[in-house]
Structure 1
Amino acid sequence: MSELIQAVLESEEKNDLRAFVSQLRQQEKNYLLRNDILHVYSEYCAKNEQSEKLYTFSLLGKLLYYTQEIIQEDSNFCFIIRPHIASQEIYRVTADLSVEAMTVQELLDLRDRLVNKYHPNEGDLLELDFGPFYDYTPVIRDPKNIGKGVQYLNRYLSSKLFQDPKQWLESLFSFLRLHQYNGIQLLINNRIQSQQQLSQQVKKAIAFVTERPSDEPYDEFRFQLQTMGFEPGWGNTAQRVQETLNILDELIDSPDPQTLEAFISRVPMIFRIVLVSAHGWFGQEGVLGRPDTGGQVVYVLDQARNLEKQLQEDVLLAGLDGINVKPKVIILSRLIPNSDGTLCNERLEKVYGTDNAWILRVPLRDFNPNMTQNWISRFEFWPYLETFAIDSERELLAEFQGKPDLIVGNYTDGNLVAFLLARRMKVTQCNIAHALEKSKYLFSNLYWQDLDEKYHFSLQFTADLIAMNAANFVVSSTYQEIVGTPDSVGQYESYKCFTMPELYHVVNGIELFSPKFNVVPPGVNENYYFPYTRNQDRVESDRLRLDEMLFTLEDSSQIFGKLDDPNKRPIFSMARLDRIKNLTGLAECFGQSKDLQEHCNLILVAGKLRTEESDDNEERDEIVKLYHIIDEYNLHGKIRWLGVRLSKSDSGEIYRVIADRKGIFVQPALFEAFGLTILESMISGLPNFATQFGGPLEIIQDKVNGFYINPTNLTETATKILDFVTKCEQNPEYWETVSQKAIDRVYTTYTWKIHTTKLLSLARIYGFWNFTSKENREDLLRYLESLFYLIYKPRAQQLLEQHKYR
Structure 2
Amino acid sequence: MTPDDHQPYIVLLSIHGLIRGHNLELGRDADTGGQTKYLVELARALGANAWVGRVDLLTRRVDDPTVSADYAQPRETLGANVQIVRIDCGEAGYIPKEQLWDSLDSFADSTLEYLKQQPRLPDILHSHYADAGYVGVRLASLLGIPLVHTGHSLGRSKRRQLLAAGHSKEALETRYHITRRIEAEETTLGVAERVITSTQQEVQEQYALYDHYRPEHMRVIPPGTDLQQFYPPQADSPASLMQAELARFLTQPDKPMILALSRPDPRKNIVELVSAYGESSELQQLANLVIVAGNRDDIRDLDSGAQEVLSDILLTVDQYDLYGKVAYPKHHQAHDVPDLYRLAAASKGVFINPALTEPFGLTLIEAAASGLPIVATDDGGPTDIIGNCRNGYLINPLDRADMAAKLWQVLTSNQQAWETLAQQGLQGVRHHYSWQAHVEKYLAELRPLMARTEATAAAETLPPVTLKRRKQLHHDRALFSDLDQNLLGKPEALAPFLTALQDNRRCVLFGIATGRRLDAAIQLMKRHRIPLPDVLITSLGTEIYYAPNLLPDTAWERHIDHLWNPRIIRRVLDGIPGIELQAKRDQSRFKISYFINPEIAPDIQQLNSLLHQEGQAVNVVQAFGQFLDIIPVRASKGLALRWVADQRDIPLERILAAGGSGADADMLRGNTLAVVVANRHHEELSELVQEGVNIFFATRPYADGILEAIEHYQFFQSCEISA
**Any idea what SS the aligned residue of 1:780 has?**
coil
| C-alpha contact 1:348 1:358 (8 A) present in aligned 2 | no
The match for 2:212 among 509, 524, 541 is: 509
Secondary structure of 1:707's aligned partner: strand
* Shift, 1:621, TM fit: 5.2
Residue type of the partner of 1:695? Answer: G
Map of 1:307-386 to 2, 5 A cutoff?
A: 307-310=46-49, 313-314=50-51, 327-330=54-57, 332=59, 335=62, 337=64, 345=71, 347=73, 350=76, 354-360=79-85, 365=90, 372-373=94-95, 376=96, 381-386=97-102
For the residue of structure 1 that corresponds to 2:439, the secondary structure is helix
Opposite residue 56 of structure 2, the aligned amino acid is V
- Quote the offset at 1:276 in angstroms: 1.9
User: Which of 143, 148, 168 in structure 2 is aligned with 1:430?
Assistant: 148
The residue number in structure 1 matching 2:441 is 758
1:306 to partner: Cα distance = 1.0
- 8 Å contact from structure 1 (residues 289, 645) kept in 2: no
Residue 14 of structure 2 is aligned to residue 296 of structure 1: no
Partner residue in 2 for 1:276: 14
Match of 1:540 among 237, 243, 254: 237
Tell me if 1:415 matches 2:118.
no
Q: Residues 333 and 359 of structure 1 are in contact (CA less than 8 Å); yes or no, is this contact kept in structure 2?
A: no
TM superposition score normalised by structure 2: 0.52
Is residue 427 of structure 2 the alignment partner of residue 744 of structure 1? yes
Cα 1:281–1:772 change in 2 (3 A) is: closer
2:246 matches 1:551: yes
| Counterpart AA for 1:594 | G
Pairing 1:387–2:103 present:
yes
Aligned residue in 2 for 1:643: 331
User: Between the two proteins, what is the percent identity of the paired residues?
Assistant: 23
Mark the runs of 5 or more structure 1 residues left unpaired by the alignment: 1-180, 187-232, 234-266, 316-325, 484-489, 496-507, 554-561, 788-806
Question: What is the alpha-carbon distance in structure 2 between the residues aligned to residue 346 and residue 622 of structure 1?
Answer: 40
The TM-score with structure 1 as length reference comes to 0.47
- Equivalent residue for 2:365, pick from 671, 675, 679: 679
Q: 1:615-664, CA deviations, whole angstroms, 9 ceiling, x for partnerless residues?
A: xxxx85555444433443346752323534334xx644432222111232
Matches within 5 A, 1:640-789: 640-641=328-329, 643-647=331-335, 651-668=337-354, 672-701=358-387, 704-709=390-395, 713=397, 715-716=398-399, 718-733=400-415, 734-770=417-453, 772=455, 778-780=464-466
The letter for the 2-side match of 1:522 is: P
Instruction: Determine the C-alpha separation between the residues in 1 that align with 2:143 and 2:375.
Output: 45
Pair 1:338–1:772, CA change in 2 (3 A): same
Unpaired runs of at least 5, structure 2: 474-723
Question: What amino acid maps onto 2:83 in structure 1?
Answer: W
SS at 1:493 equivalent: helix
Q: 1:527 — aligned with what?
A: 228
Question: Residues 360 and 382 of structure 2 are in contact (CA less than 8 Å); yes or no, is this contact kept in structure 1?
Answer: yes
Give the direction of change, closer, same or farther, for the CA distance of 1:627–1:695 in structure 2 (3 Å limit).
closer
SS in 1 for 2:329: strand
Distance 1:701 1:629 in 2: 33
> CA contact under 8 A between 2:125 and 2:148: conserved in structure 1?
yes
Structure 2 CA distance for partners of 1:651 and 1:628, relative to 1, 3 Å = closer
Letter matched to residue 303 of structure 1: L
User: Which letter does structure 1 place at the counterpart of 2:360?
Assistant: F
**Does structure 2 retain, via aligned residues, the 8 Å contact 1:572–1:664?**
yes
Name the SS of the counterpart of 1:529 in structure 2: coil
| SS of equivalent to 2:351 | strand
Deviation at 1:752, TM superposition (A): 2.5
Residue in structure 2 matched with residue 469 of structure 1 by the alignment: 190
> CA 1:628/1:546 → structure 2, altered by over 3 Å: closer, same or farther?
same
Report deviation, 1:745: 1.8
Cα drift, residue 308 of structure 1: 0.8
Contact 2:87-2:110 at 8 Å conserved across structures: no
TM-fit CA distance, 1:527: 2.4
Question: Secondary structure, in 3 states, of the residue corresponding to 2:372?
Answer: coil
Offset of residue 685 of structure 1 = 1.6
Maintained 8 Å contact 1:444/1:451: no
Closer/same/farther in 2, CA of residues 570 and 782 from structure 1, 3 Å limit = same
Secondary structure at 1:468 match in 2: helix
In 2, Cα distance between equivalents of 1:602 and 1:677:
17
Q: Secondary structure at the match of 1:708?
A: strand
Q: Distance in 2 between matches of 1:420 and 1:465?
A: 14
Q: CA deviation at 1:412?
A: 4.0
CA distance in 2, matches of 1:567, 1:478: 37
Distance verdict in 2 for CA 1:530–1:446, change over 3 Å: closer
**Shift of residue 453 of structure 1?**
3.5
1:594 aligns with 2:594: no
TM-superposed CA distance for 1:274, in Å, is 1.9
What is the letter of the counterpart of residue 384 of structure 1?
L
Deviations 1:317-373 (A, max 9, x none): xxxxxxxxx624325267484767x78755467466x23433455677559x7xx55
Tell me, in whole angstroms, the C-alpha distance in 1 between the residues paired with 2:157 and 2:148. Answer: 21
Confirm or deny: 8 A CA contact 1:431 1:473 kept in the other structure: yes
Q: How many corresponding residue pairs?
A: 453
Aligned CA distance change for structure 1 residues 276 and 702 (closer, same or farther; 3 Å): closer
Alpha-carbon distance in 1 for matches of 2:180, 2:383: 30
2:387 counterpart SS class: coil
- Secondary structure at the counterpart of residue 438 of structure 2: helix
- Could you tell me how far apart the structure 1 residues matched to 2:116 and 2:294 are? 37
The structure-2 alpha-carbon separation of the partners of 1:521 and 1:727, relative to structure 1 and needing over 3 Å to count, comes to: closer
CA contact (8 A) 1:604 1:642 kept: no
Q: Is the 8 A contact 1:655 1:686 kept in 2?
A: yes
Q: What residue is the counterpart of 2:502 in the other structure?
A: none
Q: CA deviation at 1:474?
A: 1.5
Sort the Cα spacing of 1:587 and 1:746 in 2 relative to 1 into closer, same or farther, 3 A.
same
Q: In the aligned structure 1, how far is the partner of 2:314 from the partner of 2:134?
A: 44
Contact kept in structure 2, 1:546 and 1:654, CA below 8 Å: no
Change (3 A) 1:755 1:651: same
Kindly indicate whether the alpha-carbon contact (under 8 Å) linking 1:337 and 1:344 is maintained by their aligned counterparts in 2. no
**In structure 2, C-alpha distance between the alignment counterparts of 1:573 and 1:294, rounded to whole Å:** 23
Alpha-carbon separation, structure 1, partners of 2:309 and 2:66: 28
User: After superposition, what is the alpha-carbon deviation per residue over 1:287-328, rounded to whole angstroms, capped at 9, x for unaligned?
Assistant: 345564654344323211110111xx226xxxxxxxxxx624
Q: Quote how far apart the aligned CAs of 1:709 are.
A: 4.5
Give the match's secondary structure for 2:279. helix
Matched residue type, 2:125: I
The C-alpha deviation readout for 1:52-108, integer Å capped at 9, x for no partner, is xxxxxxxxxxxxxxxxxxxxxxxxxxxxxxxxxxxxxxxxxxxxxxxxxxxxxxxxx
User: 1:390 touches 1:421 (CA, 8 Å); kept in 2?
Assistant: no
Matched letter for residue 689 of structure 1:
V
Distance in 1, Cα, partners of 2:308 & 2:69: 32
Equivalent residue for 2:207? 492
Q: Is the 8 A contact 1:529 1:652 kept in 2?
A: yes
Shift in Å at residue 545 of structure 1? 1.7
Is the contact made by 1:435 and 1:673 (CA closer than 8 Å) also made in structure 2? no
Q: 1:706 to 1:395 in 2, by over 3 A?
A: same
**Residue 569 of structure 1, CA deviation:** 3.4
Aligned-residue offset at 1:285 = 2.2
Specify the code of the residue in structure 1 equivalent to 2:48: K
1:724 partner amino acid? K
Write the distance in 2 (CA, Å) between the matches of 1:552 and 1:478: 37
SS in 2 for 1:739: helix
SS in 2 for 1:407: strand
Residue 673 of structure 1 and its aligned partner are, at CA, apart by: 4.3
